[in-house]
């Protein structure tokens, strides 16, 4: 009875695979994970050499680890292993075993099998939902029949298991890579908007169509969905990009203060107006003014804003002199302005002026597939900030976030991730460590 048969018959196998599972799940680094997996596989199957390759949807090879049973890396594995066979399994997605490769008619066309004198060989696909994303390859050059029926059963079982661990590691790696690419843009002063969901892609496409024009844009969406970010993107891609972008929250100021903030005032115009003041429309000076929560403007101010939009004219508080504004106006509202118009709470003419183009930013629950991407983006940000570079989400944690009722949208997700990075002592964030009971802000 050799060692491998022992492994199966003594029923240690379940335990051994369980230990391997624990080890793989605790490993964040994809290369290390693959090395551990292939070393275990070589040991359990009695193979001489092993190789594992992972590739992405466009067939680009992302990882390749080749090991000898002495637990050493194999240099240039392409020249050492049967690439004909690997290519065949990669194409067909079905496992291949041969205890005597030299006499196997299906390998007679393989130059590598012949020239490398490979005697026993096994090659198995790594699958996720029927899709192949990698292959495992094992061989032996010592003697024919090195692989038995049982070897193949072990190889198949362990490979199924490696598929699970490798796929989630690969997913994490790809997310990180995407995030890093996006972050690369940060350094170049680009506005980074994370989102691959088709609703977000369509939104960005619309931004690109209207950014260069000077039309007013009304950006609607629930709280924390990224309305201001979209406004910044429009400005950034417009011909006004070198001029100021000035956001003003219309809900934060009482009416008189908001008027003076927007249009400026003359000294003595009201109690506390100790000096002349330049308004935002003047300071923006060929730039963009972003009116956040525009729905909160009083009727009086609404008509003054309408005048700016129609003729570019306005006056400072306490002054009659007509001034001209050269600004682009972007506005945002988290309540549907059209509903307020129906209820006579917002001027219809102003609504149409602001709403030359309307952009709707979808809430996270309508683009759940973006949640892992956003979560990893924030994780990277805070991992750097709080000096915890190896922190990562377990796939369970990402699933939990994806299905959480994030009523505070992206801002809430950002807060949750920041909190977990600060509080968590382990590198791998588990589902129960997510503070999902948090309120939206």
Residues near Mg ion, by CB under 5 A: 228, 292
Q: How far is the CB of 176 from ligand ATP (least distance, A)?
A: 16
Closer to Mg ion by Cβ: residue 48 or 292: 292
Q: How far is the CB of 187 from ligand ATP (least distance, A)?
A: 16
Residue of 32, 42, 96 whose CA lies nearest to 67: 42
Q: Is 211 in a helix, a strand, or coil? A: helix
Binding piece for ligand ATP, criterion CB under 6 A, among 12-20, 30-38, 189-197, 316-324: 189-197
Q: In this chain, which of 206, 223, 315, 402 binds ligand ATP, going by CB under 6 A?
A: 223
221 is a contact residue toward ligand ATP (CB under 6 A): yes
Residue of 20, 8, 74 whose CA lies nearest to 45: 8
Indicate the DSSP class of residue 77: G
Return phi, psi of residue 354, to 5°. Answer: -75, -30
Q: How far is the CB of 366 from ligand ATP (least distance, A)?
A: 13
Q: How far is the CB of 290 from ligand ATP (least distance, A)?
A: 9
State the binding partner of 5 from Mg ion, ligand ATP, none, CB within 5 to 8 A by kind.
none
Q: In this chain, which of 406, 410, 416, 434 binds ligand ATP, going by CB under 6 A?
A: 410
Q: In this chain, which of 38, 119, 121, 194 binds ligand ATP, going by CB under 6 A?
A: 194
Return phi, psi of residue 216, to 5°. Answer: -75, 145
How many H-runs (helices) and E-runs (strands) does the chain carry? 16, 16
CA distances for 292 relative to 238, 244, 249, 367, 432, angstroms: 19, 16, 5, 23, 36
What would the DSSP string read from start to end of 176-202? HHHHHHHHHHHTTTPPP----SHHHHH
Q: In this chain, which of 224, 279, 287, 362 binds ligand ATP, going by CB under 6 A?
A: 224
Q: How far apart are CA 2 and CA 44, in angstroms?
A: 11
Closer to ligand ATP by Cβ: residue 97 or 377: 377
Residue of 29, 109, 42 whose CA lies nearest to 73: 42
Q: Which x/- pattern, by CB under 6 A, does the window 344-383 give for ligand ATP?
A: ------------------------------x---------
Residue of 220, 207, 214 whose CA lies nearest to 351: 220
Q: How far is the CB of 224 from ligand ATP (least distance, A)?
A: 5
Closer to ligand ATP by Cβ: residue 308 or 374: 374
Q: CA 89 from chain center: how many Å? A: 31
Binding piece for ligand ATP, criterion CB under 6 A, among 106-114, 306-314, 395-403, 406-414: 406-414
Query: What pairing do the DSSP bridges indicate for beta strands 120-128 and 96-98?
Result: antiparallel
Q: Which x/- pattern, by CB under 6 A, does the window 227-256 give for ligand ATP?
A: xxx---------------------------
Residues that bind ligand ATP (CB under 6 A): 193-195, 221, 223-229, 292, 334, 374, 410-411, 414
């Amino acid at each position: 009875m050799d060692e491998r048969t022992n492994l199966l018959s003594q029923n240690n196998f379940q335990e051994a695979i369980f230990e391997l599972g624990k080890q793989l799940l605790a490993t964040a680094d994809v290369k290390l994970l693959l090395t551990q997996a292939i070393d275990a596989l070589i040991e359990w199957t009695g193979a001489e050499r092993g190789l594992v390759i992972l590739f992405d949807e466009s067939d680009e090879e992302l990882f390749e680890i080749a090991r000898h049973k002495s637990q050493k890396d194999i240099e240039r594995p392409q020249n050492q292993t049967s690439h004909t066979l690997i290519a065949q399994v990669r194409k067909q997605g079905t496992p291949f075993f041969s205890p005597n490769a030299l006499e196997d008619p299906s390998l007679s066309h393989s130059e590598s099998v012949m020239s490398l004198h490979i005697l026993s060989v096994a090659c198995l696909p790594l699958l996720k939902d029927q899709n192949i994303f990698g292959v495992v390859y094992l061989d032996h050059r010592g003697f024919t029949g090195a692989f038995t029926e049982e070897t193949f059963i072990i190889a198949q079982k362990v490979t199924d298991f490696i598929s699970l661990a490798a796929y989630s590691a690969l997913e994490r790696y790809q997310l990180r890579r995407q995030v890093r690419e996006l972050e690369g843009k940060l350094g170049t002063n680009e506005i980074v908007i994370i989102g691959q969901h088709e609703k977000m892609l369509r939104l960005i496409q619309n931004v690109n169509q209207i950014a260069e024009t000077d039309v007013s844009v009304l950006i609607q969406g629930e709280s924390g969905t990224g309305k201001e970010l979209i406004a910044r993107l429009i400005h950034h891609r417009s011909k006004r990009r070198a001029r100021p972008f000035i956001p003003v929250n219309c809900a934060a100021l009482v009416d008189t203060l908001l008027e003076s903030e927007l249009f400026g005032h003359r000294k003595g115009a009201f109690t506390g107006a100790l000096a002349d003041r330049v308004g935002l429309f003047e300071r923006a000076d060929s730039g963009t003014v972003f009116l956040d929560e525009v729905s909160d403007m009083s009727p009086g101010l609404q008509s003054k804003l309408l005048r700016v939009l129609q003729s570019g004219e306005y006056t400072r508080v306490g002054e009659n002199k007509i001034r001209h504004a050269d600004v682009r106006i972007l506005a945002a509202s988290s309540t549907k302005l059209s509903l307020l118009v129906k209820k006579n709470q917002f001027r219809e003419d102003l609504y149409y002026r602001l709403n030359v183009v309307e952009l709707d930013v979808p809430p996270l629950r309508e683009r759940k597939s973006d949640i892992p991407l956003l979560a990893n983006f924030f994780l990277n940000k805070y991992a750097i900030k709080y000096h915890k570079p190896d922190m990562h989400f377990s796939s369970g944690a990402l699933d939990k976030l994806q299905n959480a009722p994030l009523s505070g949208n992206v801002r809430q997700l950002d807060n949750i991730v920041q909190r977990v990075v600060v509080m968590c002592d382990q590198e791998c964030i588990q589902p129960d460590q997510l503070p999902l009971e948090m309120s939206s802000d």
